[in-house]
Structure 1
Amino acid sequence: MTNTGASDARDRDTDGRARNARPRDGLGRPLPYGAEGVPRQAEGVVRTPDRTVAEAQALLAAGKPFHAHEVFEDAWKSGPRAERALWRGLAQLAVGLTHAARGNAVGGARLLRRGAGAVAAWEQERREDRPYGLDLAGLTRWARELAERVERGAEQGAGPVDPVAEAPRLGWEEVR
């Protein structure tokens, strides 16, 4: 990717599509060109569901929910149609945690609830509560509880949440 540094120039990939090549921090916020950021997740990677869950869990545990969101987004976009709502819901949970960790309580709570609703609806429709070892009921409960705490914290003037301390455990045996 290239960037001329001019304010109207856009980063483009080899096919000419706009891509932001700015480095990002662990929560996905863009940093100035030349700053040292964290490695970004490659886009459009097709993973097995088990690999998706494992990579997302590792990123969540490392305090990188934005990057976990991108892993879930790849599964959402490349997975079987019948599972897309599940992966989209999980991506919303991760980006909800991202917003809460960035200090955006309103957006964080909204996305946590939206993701929880999507995951719960998928579980209820499919009557499958542990696909790929995921504890969907536990994740739904975690997201709704965190959304409540984020909103209460915002009302009391609390700052952003700690993404490591608040990261969910995705697996059945591991969910808090």
Structure 2
Amino acid sequence: MDDERDRDAAGRALNARPRDGLGRPLPYGARGVDRQPEGVVRTPDQTLRDAQALLDAGMPFHAHEVFEDAWKSGPDAERALWRALAQLAVGLTHAARGNTAGGARLLLRGADGLAGYADAGPYRIDIPGLTSWARRLADGLTGPVDASTSAPRLTAG
């Protein structure tokens, strides 16, 4: 076991190491970006608003954490929706880090996950726009993208 890793009393990693805006670990003592608190229960509108602000700021890794909270705390019937949105955010994270293969794979997985919601469009989520955005970005990845200028709009109107 690596003694340098932060652990809780049960030995689970605490991930206390500072991170940059794309979620990459920085050296201990470096100034990182504030992390999203885990386990926050938000309304769907709050989730979309918080995630959009993070996407617009070029922080898709942190937006993924917001979606992850919704997927873990929301109703069972919506878990696939929030998981697909988290996959889009992680796909953009990988694309911004220059991992084009992983980014494309996650973007397409997220787009496929949204396909079942095409008719419903819950919470004004722009399902057709997001799936189109994800497929276009995945198809055109050749190197790192700028996370903020490549970020999608989550809702219609």
The TM-score by the shorter chain falls in which range? over 0.9
Cα deviation 1:86-116 (Å, max 9, x = unaligned): 0000000000000000000000000000000
Given the alignment of the two structures, is residue 143 of structure 1 paired with residue 134 of structure 2, yes or no? Answer: yes
Q: Give the ranges of 4+ consecutive aligned residues of structure 1 lying more than 3 Å apart after TM superposition.
A: 13-17
Q: So what's the TM-score if we normalise by structure 1?
A: 0.85
Residue in 2 aligned with 1:134? 125
Aligned match for 1:91, one of 86, 95, 108: 86
Cα deviation 1:46-87 (Å, max 9, x = unaligned): 111000000000000000000000000000011000000000
C-alpha distance in 1 between matches for 2:131 and 2:41: 25
Give 1:52-67 correspondences, 5 Å limit.
52-67=47-62
Q: CA deviation at 1:14?
A: 6.3
C-alpha distance in 2 between matches for 1:56 and 1:146: 19
Residue in 2 aligned with 1:164? 148
Q: CA deviation at 1:16?
A: 5.2
Residue in 2 aligned with 1:3? none
C-alpha distance in 2 between matches for 1:47 and 1:13: 26
Number of residue pairs aligned between Structure 1 and Structure 2: 157
C-alpha distance in 2 between matches for 1:171 and 1:17: 36
Q: CA deviation at 1:8?
A: 2.6
Cα deviation 1:115-149 (Å, max 9, x = unaligned): 0000112x15xx302x1121011101100000001
**Cα RMSD over matched residues?**
1.5
Is there any run of 5+ residues in structure 1 with no aligned partner, and where? 1-5, 154-158
Higher relative contact order (CA 8 A, sep 6+): 2
1:13–1:48 distance in 2 versus 1, CA, 3 Å? farther
- Aligned-residue sequence identity (percent) comes to 71
